[in-house]
Amino acid sequence: MELENKYYPVFLDLEDRLCVVVGGGAVAFRKVESLLANGAIVRVVAPEISRSIMRLQGLEIRKKQYDKSDLKNALLVFAATDMEETNKAVSMDALKLNVFCNVVDTPSFCTFIVPSVVEKGPIKIAISTGGVSPALSKKLREELTVAIGNEYEILARILGRIRPIVVSQNGGTEVHKRVFETLINSSLPEAIRKSRKDEVKSILKQAIGVEVDLEGIL
């Protein structure tokens, strides 16, 4: 059976990895800004580069026409120009060099696409329609943003704080897994939603046997 969405979902760690953006306009700016926010080393290639991009810190700027050498050592590249010929060249070069490529608004030239993202603290949900309808992805993102309350962001932060405690306790992986599942399916999310701090602490202590410092979380 042919897959309706051929893309493999994955979250990449871009910390200190080289990513290239070919283009210097508004679309390129959004890609550069996002890459920098996720710790990437960013190289921007374009004959003309907007002031918005130039004001960003920590970029490698190549104010020139694109050529294949601009992809050297890159993990991925965004082609964000308004020139189809340039975008296609980036795509073909990336394919030869085994560099993941996204050509904005042209899925047929892409080896990866960027999903719509719902982000609340540690929680990040990616939504994709396989490139067939960005508008639908946006609609789903908006609905999920409303549906996922702030209590889940707080819950995620709490679970992150108690994880070292839980994994240091007796029992193997399955025992530790059950602790987290029990907490997630308990009244803990509701107590967080209603800001009942004492109840939150009580539920946690009952589950893991120790007081939890919630300073800065709740």
CA atoms within 13 Å, Cβ hemisphere of 130: 6
Local confidence band at 1 (pLDDT 50, 70, 90 cut-offs): very low
pLDDT at 132 over 90: no
CA atoms within 13 Å, Cβ hemisphere of 36: 17
Report the C-alpha gap between 70 and 90 in whole angstroms.
Answer: 10
Local confidence band at 28 (pLDDT 50, 70, 90 cut-offs): very high
As a whole number, the mean pLDDT across the chain is: 94
142-186: per-residue pLDDT in tens? Answer: 999 999 999 999 999 999 999 999 999 998 999 999 999 999 999
pLDDT at 218 over 90: no
The residues near 124 (Cβ < 8 Å, ≥ 6 apart) are: 11, 117, 118
Report the C-alpha gap between 21 and 78 in whole angstroms.
Answer: 5
The DSSP bridge partners found for residue 206 are: none
C-alpha closest to that of 50 among 35, 28, 68:
28
Local confidence band at 34 (pLDDT 50, 70, 90 cut-offs): very high
116-148 has CATH 3.30.160 classification: yes
Q: Percent of the chain at pLDDT above 70? A: 99
What is the model's pTM?
Answer: 0.85
The residues near 134 (Cβ < 8 Å, ≥ 6 apart) are: 116
Which is the CATH superfamily of the domain at 18-114?
A: NAD(P)-binding Rossmann-like Domain (3.40.50.720)
pLDDT of residue 2: 55
Q: What is the mean pLDDT of residues 108-137?
A: 91
